[in-house]
Amino acid sequence: MAKDFLAGTKDRYDVVVIGSGLAGLTGANVLAKQGYSVLLLEHHYQLGGMATWFKRRGGHIFDISLHGFPVGMKKSCRKYWTDEIAESIVQLKGIRFENPQFSLRTTFTREDFTRIITDEFGIPFETVDQFFATARSMNFYDDQSKTTRELFEEFFPGRSDVHRLLMEPITYANGSTMEDPAITYGIVFSNFMSKGVFTFQGGTDKLVQQMKAELEANGVDIRIRSLVEEVEVTPDRRVTAVVVNGKRVECGAVLSNANIKSTILKLVGEEHFDPEYVDEAKAVRLNNSSCQVYIGLKPGVSFDDSCGDLLFHSEHTGFDVDAMLSKDVSSRTFSFYYPQTRPGSDRWLIVSSTNANYDDWANLPEDQYEADKQHLCETTLDCLEQYVPNIREKLDWIEASTPRTFKHYTRHLEGASFGTKFEGLKVSQTLPEQIHGLFHAGSVGIIMSGWLGAVNYGVITSNEVDKYLTPAEATV
């Protein structure tokens, strides 16, 4: 008989959290610590959402989205998770750019970027300093009409090399473009520039295991392989229950970590919303997806430290978002993982990531799909050869993932790696105005995406859930 993954669940919880991405996990933890009964439902067999990993024959463990995040993650993990988790967050110092316009290494801090832009690109210090100050002072309530391109032109007119240095890592990271609002760039860039790029020592598996232990200690009822099919709402638009694996579970509130468009259009259904809100939700653009190639070297076989930790490689003459998304790959980000990523390991691993369009991969016939993945692996090795000579002889494992893979595991429409474009944030934040007791936390609008954005958005939304469940007493 098939296993019942919901065996022993209660009939009712204060809060049901749909999805165990970093926003869902964090929201569940904050609410449980506040004393609410929380049911966390995840359709996959593993917690973490995009913050995930997989194991392969021969002892390889590949991380999917552990390439780098800002230092703010340390503070958020200490405050909303545990000291132990915060202590494993360490800096990556070897960031490298190789492209036809420049070849350089940086620690990706404000000081080092200032040095590079002044000494190597010949821009006056005052201009660079003013640019950083402007980016840093940007906040969510600022003018949202200025684009990143306009911001760059204001400070570095006609300097495509500087634009590329400033933009390429952010585009690789979250798919944003020069036409996105400058504030999204300013906030993400300043987060990174505060102290550089950080990682989680021990790997994503260790992080998620520690988070799971903390959730359990705080009393969260966690269920994997549990697909929420429906969020039930009353005619007067109030959340009452979810239907998961065919079972109805009542609740006071729902925090959805599923894609915002799926939450509205699939889990609830458009008939429950104002028509204008539905139009707005439908108009939200999804972010692009990704392809990755996972490369494991034979046990004990290494690559040189000079490879760095993160290498932004591009063969394209200038910065070109369409080229970065093209299936005909000319730009890759290589993450080099040394044994110290997982202390005690004897593995050197490489993950190559490229931005990708879902449509380029979605409807290929099966044999063509497999052949194209194989081609991606081969061209990635060809490219890698210049950084890791004789890579094919050193190789023990190689495989590729595509937008289809990301869609399959996280149920994000079109496998969107970073949820939606900026306009998704407003739709996400105004969801509770449409349906009482329904909240969303998860990748929307760049700022609320990535590891740090997702964790912080989980906290912000759980505070809203708390206010809804326990309204403040009227003051006299």
Ligand X SMILES: Cc1cc2nc3c(=O)[nH]c(=O)nc-3n(C[C@H](O)[C@H](O)[C@H](O)COP(=O)(O)OP(=O)(O)OC[C@H]3O[C@@H](n4cnc5c(N)ncnc54)[C@H](O)[C@@H]3O)c2cc1C
Q: Does 264 bind ligand X (CB under 6 A)?
A: no
Q: Where are the beta strands (DSSP E) in 139-277?
A: 197-200, 221-223, 228-233, 239-244, 247-256
Residue 60 binds ligand X, judged by CB under 6 A? no
Q: Which of 99, 428 has the CB closer to ligand X?
A: 428
Of residues 128 and 211, the one with the C-beta less far from ligand X: 211
Residues of span 419-458 touching ligand X by CB under 6 A: 419, 442-443, 449-451, 454
Query: Which of 99, 191, 292, 352 contacts ligand X by CB under 6 A?
Result: 292
Can you list the alpha helix ranges (DSSP code H) found in 200-340?
Answer: 203-217, 260-262, 275-283, 321-325
Give the nearer residue to ligand X in terms of CB position, either 101 or 287.
287
Residue list 67-126, contact with ligand X (CB under 6 A): 67-69
Query: What's the closest the beta carbon of residue 145 comes to ligand X, in angstroms?
Result: 25
Q: Does the footprint of ligand X cover residue 353 (CB under 6 A)?
A: yes
Total binding residues toward ligand X, as defined by CB under 6 A: 39
Nearer to ligand X, 73 or 151 (CB): 73
Residues 6+ apart with CB under 8 A from 205: 53, 61
Residue 120: its H or E element: none
As given in the structure block, the two tokens for residue 183 are 């504030």
Query: Is residue 24 within the footprint of ligand X (CB under 6 A)?
Result: yes
**Chosen residue from 13, 31, 32, 43 binding ligand X by CB under 6 A:** 43
Contacts 24+ apart (CB under 8 A), 227-231: 227/41, 227/43, 228/16, 228/18, 228/41, 228/43, 228/258, 228/267, 229/267, 230/267, 230/268, 231/18, 231/256, 231/263, 231/267, 231/268, 231/438
Instruction: Map residue 362 onto helix, strand or coil.
Output: helix
User: 3 phi and psi, to 5 degrees?
Assistant: -70, 140
One character per residue 122-161, x = contact with ligand X (rule: CB under 6 A) = ----------------------------------------
Which residue among 257, 331, 405, 456 contacts ligand X (CB under 6 A)?
257
Q: How far is the CB of 69 from ligand X (least distance, A)?
A: 4
CA distance 398 to 316: 25
Counting Cα atoms < 13 Å in the Cβ hemisphere of 84 gives: 9
Distance, CA of 215 to chain centre = 21
| Span from 77-85, 233-241, 405-413, 432-440 in contact with ligand X (CB under 6 A) | 405-413
**Could you tell me if 329 and 376 are in contact, meaning their C-beta atoms sit under 8 angstroms apart?**
yes
Q: Which stretch binds ligand X (CB under 6 A): 38-46, 152-160, 209-217, 366-374?
A: 38-46
Nearer CB in complex with ligand X: 50/293? 50
Q: Is 169 in the site for ligand X (CB under 6 A)?
A: no
287 binds ligand X (CB under 6 A): no
Task: Indicate whether 227 belongs to the interface with ligand X (CB under 6 A).
Answer: yes
Q: Which residues bind ligand X (CB under 6 A)?
A: 18-24, 41-44, 49-51, 64-65, 67-69, 227-228, 257-258, 290, 292, 353, 406, 410-412, 417-419, 442-443, 449-451, 454
